[in-house]
Amino acid sequence: MRGQLRDAASHHDVLPEGLVQRHVAESDVELLGRLMADGYRGTMDDTGEDDAWHHTEAAATLQGHYGAVLWDASFVAVNGPQLAGTCLVTDGGSHLLLAFAIVVPEWRNRGVGAALIAESARALLGASHVEWTLAVTDDNPARRLYERLGFVPDESLRRTSRDAGA
């Protein structure tokens, strides 16, 4: 999917009480691995990966496996010592990539995902970017959120996306 940053940036969802937002940091690898494990468990993208797999995935992500992390535009919502959610953006080369939007089950459907994505969009817009992309599986209910934030399907991305969907 492809979106205009100004569309997502115009959303002003606020984090629910109890959550605080900050930038993603390189030292977040443990917390991010835990967030990925908890966030993907039981979803349609869960094919049985264990905690160690998610930890490796988190480390690879922060090391640039999906493109250099755009630290200034990548955020986590923090709940005490744990992460409640993230919007992590990378430089995919020819396009910016919203690489991960994840919120743990207990904080879902309260605007956390939308708030973090909109914050990332404002940061990217402030750095003079115009649009961004993401990959999402075709039947993922997250598509509704992405569409609400201005993303539209883009068949031209399908071959280059790491997932089947575009």
Ligand X SMILES: CC(C)(COP(=O)(O)OP(=O)(O)OC[C@H]1O[C@@H](n2cnc3c(N)ncnc32)[C@H](O)[C@@H]1OP(=O)(O)O)[C@@H](O)C(=O)NCCC(=O)NCCS
Determine the size of the site formed for ligand X (CB under 6 A). 20
Closest Cα partner for 161 from 132, 141, 139?
Answer: 132
Q: How many residues does the chain have?
A: 166
Residue among 3, 33, 39, 150 that touches ligand X (CB under 6 A): 39
Identify which range of 15-23, 55-63, 118-126, 136-144 contacts ligand X by CB under 6 A.
136-144
Binding mask 49-88 for ligand X (x = CB under 6 A): ----------------------------------------
Separation CA 103–CA 148 (nearest Å): 17
Q: Whole-number minimum distance, CB 144 to ligand X, in Å?
A: 3
- Residue 120 to residue 85: CA distance in whole angstroms: 13
Rounded Cα–Cα distance for residues 151 and 1 (Å): 6
Query: Could you say whether residue 108 binds ligand X (CB under 6 A)?
Result: yes
